[in-house]
Amino acid sequence: MQSVKLAILVLLFSAFSLASIARVQHTSVINQNCSPTCTLSISSTGSGHLLVLVYATGYSPGTSISSVTGGGTWVASGACVSQDTTGGSGIDIAYVLSSSSGTTSLSITVSHSDTLAAFAFAEYSGGTASLDGSCQTISNQSASTHPLSAAITTAGTNDLIVTGVEQTGFHYGTTTVTNQQGTGWTTPIVELNGVLGFDDDLNVSASTYQASFTGSGSYTYCSSTFAFTFSSGSSSIKHRGQIL
């Protein structure tokens, strides 16, 4: 009986260890009129997931996400704001570490009325999420046909990286992403004309990561990047195995 119990626990431990981060949904909008509050429709959220909201301001550099309602407890501190004063735009990122289920819309308030706001939203499953370090930003970058995301160095063994890049040169269907540092960057999951490129890198180990976007022209840009690490709670299963 003892051996059967231990075998079951080993299987459970293996299943938890193999849990991987997955993108559950994503959506985006452009030219939203936030005065200063607006609404973003999303698919129904799951429970205990990571939610990420990237905001590209069309009003002025420095405009940030003041608050978000819906889906859980949002962290919108303004600590992830990057600026492009030449292009007159900027990026900010807010997040929920553990979502509530059944949310189908978000109420977003920005720090200044913005009639040209753009948003990208994504939901991720894969365990319990926590921040891996702090947000990284780069502002007022020189004109380039290959705008870079803000580089970030991770410490976790099972991380998700999300990045937003603002540049006038993004046009739907033409933007590509390659690896500047690290691996795993792919075609952007969101490219909003003339405003926002958004991409993620899933299930990565400890290293430095930076994406290189390709726009349709040489323009100034800015970028903000967050990293999150995911744990599955396998340590408690292991402990139970030791005391049986």
Rg, the chain, Cα only: 19
Q: What pLDDT tens digit does each residue of the chain (244 aa) get?
A: 444 344 434 344 444 454 699 999 999 999 999 999 999 999 999 999 999 999 999 777 789 999 999 999 999 988 899 999 998 889 999 999 999 999 999 999 999 999 999 999 999 999 999 999 999 999 999 999 999 999 999 999 999 999 999 998 888 778 889 999 999 998 888 988 888 999 999 999 999 999 999 988 899 999 999 999 999 853 222 222 222 2
- Residue 127, number of CB atoms within 10 A of its CB: 20
pTM score of the predicted model: 0.87
Q: Which residues contact 177 (CB under 8 A, 6 or more apart)?
A: 185, 186, 187, 188, 197, 199, 211, 212, 213, 214
Domain residue ranges in the chain? 2-243
CB atoms within 10 A of CB 59: 19
Encoded tokens for 209: 């990561």
Name the nearest CA neighbour of 157 among 42, 17, 39: 17
**Which amino acid is residue 23, in one-letter code?**
R
Strand partners, 106: 40
